[in-house]
Every structure is written in structure tokens, then in C-alpha cells.
Amino acid sequence: MPGKIKSTIELAMEKAAKLPRLTEEEIRQRREEEYGPRGRAIAELILRGDLSVDRLDAELSRHDGEQGEIVLTAFLTSLCQAIDLEDTEATARAFEGIRAVVGDAHLEEASSRWSGILRDCEEQEQQEFSTMEEAEGGSLRDLGVSGSAIRLNLQQNERWQGERSALLERFRPQVEEIQRELSNHLRRATSGA
């Protein structure tokens, strides 16, 4: 019959057949766009202290198969990226979150290295702080300002903030190395998990 009327389902199937097929990589990318934010959100809850590591397994186990792998990878990547010298509480929670999923010797070694870097950074920061405090106090005395009621607030001093930022930058490559090594290790440890 030349004037055959097609049903809606037939029209939809014809249109679908004409659409370009997605490659496996495009499908994977779309799934990562969909499920990656879930893993990052769980990591953010851990970092803020709004989710205890006791409940972490329940959160991560909501997703299984490829979706679970994507969520877990995004979660661990976010925690690795959160390791730094400025927010030590969040960094400690990042290590706790990683430890709850993949507690192994490599993680403990990374945590120990970070603690050593933090200790070195804090020691150097204290030395530089004391040096600047003496210099600023001397400047005030030269101006004739002295006495026990005078307290310097270097934490709000722009020069000190610049010095502190420069100090943190000097230690940043070591922290980034830990982030990179830990991230690579976790990727290998959880592949196929």
C-alpha cells in the first residue's frame, strides 16, 4: 500500500535508527559526567566532616558495577586532590576516607610523608614568623611605640600573609608528588573493584 500510515512507534524507531551511534569512549564519558559528581559529593561530605567514615561503605555501595567504579574513582580522586598543607583537618579526613576504602602500606607511607612535610613546613613557618615578629617589633620601637600592651597581629599583616603563601608554595611540589603517587596507586588498587 503506497499511502500506508505509520504508527508513532515506527516513526520513532526510524528516527532512532538514523541517529549516530556513540562510541564506547563517548558512552564512558557520559557515564562519568553522570556518576562522577556523586563520588565528588561523597568526598566533600567526608572533607567537611558531615559524613563519618563508618557510614562511608553504605554510601559507596549504593552504586555497583561500572557506575560504582566511576563513583569510587571520583571519590578517591577528590580526596587525593584535597591533601594540602593549609587545611590540615580536611587532609586528615581525606586520609581517613581513603583508609576506609584502601588501607594499605602505600597509603600509610604517603600519610607519614605528608606528616613529615607538614612538620617541616610548620617549623619553618614558626621560624619565619618569629623573625618577622622581631623585625616588626623593632620597627615599632624605632617609632617610639613600646610597652607590654602592644601586641602585634601578624596573622592579619599582608606582608606575613605573602611570606606564608611563599612558604606554602615552596612545599607544594612535595605535596603534589604525594597526591600524584597516591592517586596512581589508588587507581591501580581499585581497578576492577
Percent of the chain predicted with pLDDT > 70: 86
| Spatial separation of the C-alpha atoms in residues 60 and 187, rounded to whole Å | 16
Q: What would the pLDDT profile of 44-75 be if each residue is shown by its tens digit?
A: 999 999 999 899 999 999 988 889 999 999 99
How far is it, in rounded angstroms, from Cα 93 to Cα 175? 16
pLDDT at 147 over 60: no
How many angstroms separate the CA atoms of 132 and 154, rounded?
A: 8
Across the range 163-191, mean pLDDT stands at 91
Model pTM score: 0.75
Q: Which residue has the higher pLDDT, 3 or 97?
A: 97
Spans of all domains in the chain: 8-190
d(CA 124, CA 118): 10
Q: Which contacts of 132-139 are long-range, i.e. CB under 8 A and separated by 24 or more positions?
A: 132/157, 132/159, 132/160, 132/163
Identify the band that residue 34 occupies on the pLDDT scale cut at 50, 70 and 90: confident
Return the higher-pLDDT residue of 139 and 191.
Answer: 191
Sequence-distant contacts of 148-154: CB under 8 A, at least 24 apart: 154/129
Task: Write down the pLDDT at residue 146.
Answer: 59
Whether 28 and 73 have beta carbons less than 8 Å apart is answered as no
